[in-house]
Every structure is written in C-alpha cells, then in structure tokens.
Structure 1
C-alpha cells in the first residue's frame, strides 16, 4: 500500500498520519483546533530503536561496540525510523497500522509496527519492535510537539514524578536521581506508576498523556511548543538500561492522549 497521508476521524477529532514522513502523526485537530506544532520536523514522531541521545553514538552489544551516525554531535539522537518512509499495512475510519523496516545505519534487521487509534476523546499510539533473528537492545518512545498556545493562555503542565534524572553538561543523565526541579526543562523524569502528565490550556482544553512506561522526557525550552515524551527508558538507555528484543519477545509500548473541554 502507499505511503500517502492518512486521515482518521472520530466525532470532532481528526488525526493525520504521515507514513511518508517518518511515520509521524502530523496533526491532531480537536473541534478544528490544531494541537500539534506544524512543520515537516514536528507533529509527533516515533523514537525507535532508541530515544533521546546515545553518548558519542556508541553502544555495547555484548563485547561488540556499535557506532551510530552522530546526527546531534557529539551524540546520536532519536533513533532512525523518523528519517524514512513507512508502509501502510491497513487503515479504517479511525485506525491506521503502519510499518517500518530497521536497516542501516541500525546494525540489526527488524520491523517496527505502529498502530494509531482514534476515538472521540482519545488517541492511542502503540508501537512494537520485533527481530527476525538476532537479539538486540532497543527503546520505544514518542516525541510530540504540543502547541504552547491555542489562541488563549499558554499551556500549563502538571505532573508528579518520583525523581528527575540529573542532567550533565552533555545533556545526558549522570546516573544520579535528584528531587524534581522547576522548569524550564530538557530533562528525564521517573514515574514508577506510569507516565501521567496533564497539559491544560486554561478555559480551552485539558489533555492527559499517559503510558504504562515509567520514563518521560519533558522539553519546554522552545517558545512555540511543549514536548511530553513517554519512553521505555532514559536517554542513553541503550547503554544504561537496555531492553532486549528477542525472536520470542518483541518490545512493545503504548501511550494514550485523552482530552476534555474546559
């Protein structure tokens, strides 16, 4: 099937899925209001097979050192699948399934599948990574760019993490867990009960980002948008907290965004 844009609808919610642009969700409109920052690099893109930065683009697989391209020098950032076209497996009015093959520069063959499901008051994204033969470490995450302002007051963030990963000068976690600090943030937080972050545009809309995963990166240093990124491990997690994909056990994660009008 083609990699043309896909439009999903449910009630007054509309989602645009862009298989040809890195498998991203290009838009989420609720009552005609666009929630995601627009532009080729924005929307909400999948972070696979790693999330955030990998130190010096290197990670260990057993005794072997694997080198990734340094697309955010001196590090590698946000995986590979956002850079290529995905294939559309199937679509319906409110659901799309798209796939991407893992290939160079990632050193292992595999497949990523993303399911996008829309209801009148929620969007659910589910991703899985499977291998054909070799086991390998991987991560799954999403990088949404929510518009900071929808025409009224700026968005307010509310979440209660158990800890914040101390961030070094190289933007990577040092390995120390600290008490959460006030923003602005480009930081990773731990939420052992699952990611639960509420974005409120006063007088307009409340949107909750939830996931059973316990890691979330919050990035709000840009004027136009705020990012709330659920993921299966912290930045540099291929080295510090790898999740293994095996022929018998794929890696799977889900995030749900639910909303209500105020």
Structure 2
C-alpha cells in the first residue's frame, strides 16, 4: 500500500509485519531495500530480552530464542496485519494485529502511518492494548536508513547529544548508565528530554528522528545502512523497566521523521 503527500511516498506492507518497505522523497530512497530491511515494528518488546525470559509479577514466561541465547524484537514483525482505515486523501492509514503465540497474553497492536500534508515528514504511532490481564510491554521502530542516497553520494552522518549510554554485559544492556562512547554502535542511549537524532547526507538531505520517549538504539555496524530506533523502553526492558499495559492504560508511543534539503553554502 502506498501513501503519498507532496513529493513523498511511503510503502507499507501489512502482510510483512506492517513493515515500511520504502520511503521516497523526490527521487531518492531513504530506507535500505530487501527482505528484513525498510523499517519494521518492534512489539510487544524491543531489542533483546535476556535468555528469552521475562516476569509478570510472580509468573515467569519463556520466549523462543531467535538471537543466539536471547529473544529479539517482538513478535508482530512476523505477523500479517490488517488495514483498519485509509484516509480519503491517501496520506494516512491505520493497521491492526492481534497478539498471538508465542506472546502469552491476548491483546492488540495498532499502527497509524501518516505523511504530513505538505510531504515534509512522516509520523508513526503505535498502541498496545490488552484483551485480558495486564502485562509488561514495549513498542518502537527499527528503520534501516541508507548510508548513501546515491552510489556516489556522501555517507550519512549522525548528530545527537545523548545524556548517557547503557553499559552492555554479554551483549545485553544493563541498568548501568555510562558516558556516551564513540561508535561504531549497537547501543541504547538515554535522551531524557526526548529522542532527537539528525541524519545528514551532506548537502543532499537532512532527516530528524524525534520522539517523546527517552530511549533510542543506534546501530551502525553494517556497511549499507544505519539504524536509529526510537522505543518506549531499553533493550531487556521487560525485565529492567517494566511498563504495564492495563485495561485502562494502553501503551502509546509515536515518532516523527521530518526532512528538508539544506540550503546551499553561501558563495
């Protein structure tokens, strides 16, 4: 499904986890292409859950291991979603999916995808609801932004000012917050005033990723793409920072990606 506004076009694939398979601005593609690329939804958890184990009160649950000895990136990215609503102007749509095995609690995840009216940005919204008991959950996005907009174009540069970086042990983020370290990264950063990361492809394009959440994972260890992942909690957060979804309080989170073409240098 394609949504359009101004010179921007986003392609959503409900059958593949409601993944954004393409985001084009003018004649350039911002998302890496191919299976598993684009931008996918992480829910009902983000990143790695250590040893695939989490607790809800006194109850221990075990999730299938799909990242070595850990469980990674939730379940809904592997499910087929359904279209719930499509705006008449063709620039926004809503999609839903029911939580299912191996997640042990009934519920629903909703994603709203909306291009700005003038095509200058994209807002994504996620909601996680329970259909029964309360449970801890997380939600976020895992976009793969291209390193270069064109084969001979400049490599993307990241600009952000995190307050801290979660210390990792055996590849898992701990609760210890240290000073931000130089990359390359596969790390979670804290931004207490809200996620605010800018990607710059020289003078070709500038893209800002913002969210009200304080957690963002940056992954730049691949040659073809970099990932800037705003999320409602840190990796392993089902255990370290549990956020309960209840009948009266769903989990809701959003991110906005806005872009502009920088002014040419003076002179």
Q: Give the structure-1-normalised TM-score.
A: 0.97
Once residues 154 and 181 of structure 2 are traced to their aligned partners in structure 1, the CA distance between those partners, rounded to angstroms, is: 23
User: 1:7 maps to which residue?
Assistant: 2
Once structures 1 and 2 are overlaid, which stretch shifts more, 83-92 or 190-199?
Answer: 83-92
From 91, 100, 105, give the equivalent of 2:102: 105
Are residues 1:235 and 2:230 paired? no
User: 1:250 maps to which residue?
Assistant: 250
What displacement does 1:175 show? Answer: 2.1
* Mapping for residues 1-262 of structure 1, pairs under 5 Å: 6-92=1-87, 93-119=90-116, 120-151=119-150, 152-168=153-169, 170-262=170-262
Structure 1, residues 147-195: CA drift from partner, whole Å, max 9, x if none?
A: 0111211000000000000112x21113211100010000000000000
Q: Give the structure-2-normalised TM-score.
A: 0.95
Once residues 64 and 174 of structure 1 are traced to their aligned partners in structure 2, the CA distance between those partners, rounded to angstroms, is: 22
- Equivalent residue of 2:34, what SS? coil
What displacement does 1:116 show? Answer: 0.1
User: 2:265 maps to which residue?
Assistant: none
Gap runs ≥5 in structure 1: 1-5
Once residues 233 and 109 of structure 2 are traced to their aligned partners in structure 1, the CA distance between those partners, rounded to angstroms, is: 17
What displacement does 1:48 show? Answer: 0.1
- Equivalent residue of 2:239, what SS? helix
What displacement does 1:221 show? Answer: 0.2
- Equivalent residue of 2:180, what SS? coil
User: 1:3 maps to which residue?
Assistant: none
What displacement does 1:132 show? Answer: 1.3
- Please give the root-mean-square deviation of Cα atoms over the aligned residues, in Å: 0.6
| 4+ aligned runs moved over 3 Å, structure 1 | none
CA contact (8 A) 1:21 1:40 kept: no
- Equivalent residue of 1:129, what SS? strand
What displacement does 1:91 show? Answer: 1.2
Once residues 16 and 190 of structure 1 are traced to their aligned partners in structure 2, the CA distance between those partners, rounded to angstroms, is: 30
Once residues 14 and 124 of structure 1 are traced to their aligned partners in structure 2, the CA distance between those partners, rounded to angstroms, is: 13
- Equivalent residue of 2:51, what SS? helix
Structure 1, residues 35-92: CA drift from partner, whole Å, max 9, x if none?
A: 0001121100000000000000000111111000001120000000000100001113
- Equivalent residue of 2:15, what SS? coil
